[in-house]
Amino acid sequence: MKSFLIIGMGSLGNHLCDELSKNNCEIMLADINSAKVENINSAVVTSRVCDCTKRSVLESLGVEDFDVCFVCIEDYFQACLEITDLLKEMGAKKIYSTANRQIEEKFLLRSGADCIIYPERDICRKIAGIECAQHVFDYINIADDYSIFEIEPLKKWLGKTVMELDFRNRYNLNIIACKKDGKVIPFLNADYVFTEGEHLLVLGNSKEIEKIVK
């Protein structure tokens, strides 16, 4: 069972705690405000009311024992930066830190954050990507410009097989699964025939997707 430390119980910290607890992970919550942690009721969650900008406090939490540490302080960047720096110095295995502006992301990465949580930017980027494309229903960013896209087959694909379309070579994309009637069919073979009403899960570069959905 993986263990997580969440520092800061604002909106982001609460949502993160809810999602992690659904997977029966061990979770430690820490916030300077007692009102934000006192109503947490879960068998996999423990909490501490404390000031994590103090080294002695973080040492008492045993940060090196957690698989991942999340710094979810949304309204006080100086505290987020100080805690990120301390976590890195103390040997935290992996650190996620929250940023609201590009310059904050820059300083957090320099201070030791492994990944940046940029909630407003990320959700707006996702919504814009979905709504500006005609055939994209959802996507998951993997790295830089590569994502898994949920798209519907183009009309010219219907009734044809993966092999007939020479899909990978023609579009420089990989089909990893198909969603139809609420079920997911993984690893489509070369003889699979595209039909109306299904959605394809396709892995590839954003620019390659744009060529076929706009």
pLDDT digits (tens, 9 = 90+) for 150-208: 888 888 999 999 999 999 899 998 888 998 887 888 878 888 999 988 999 988 888 88
Looking at the predicted structure, is the pLDDT value of residue 127 above 80?
A: no
- Whether the full predicted model's pTM is greater than 0.75, yes or no, is no
- pLDDT value at residue 123: 77
Token code pair at residue 145: 């410009």
Token code pair at residue 144: 């830089």
- pLDDT value at residue 79: 94
Are 148 and 176 in contact, with CB atoms under 8 Å apart?
A: yes
Q: Which amino acid, one-letter code, is at 116?
A: I
- pLDDT value at residue 129: 67
Residue found by looking up tokens 């798209």 in the block:
151
Domains recognised in the chain with CATH numbers: 3-117 (3.40.50.720), 130-213 (3.30.70.1450)
Nearest to 108 by CA among 75, 85, 86: 85
Tell me the mean pLDDT in the region 72-78. Answer: 88
Higher pLDDT, 53 or 18: 53
Q: Which amino acid, one-letter code, is at 208?
A: E
**Sorting pLDDT into bands at 50, 70 and 90, what band is 63?**
very high
DSSP string, 135-204: SEEEEEEEETTEEEEEEPPPGGGTT-BHHHHTHHHHHS-EEEEEEETTEEEES--TTPBP-TT-EEEEEE
Share of the chain above pLDDT 70, in %: 92
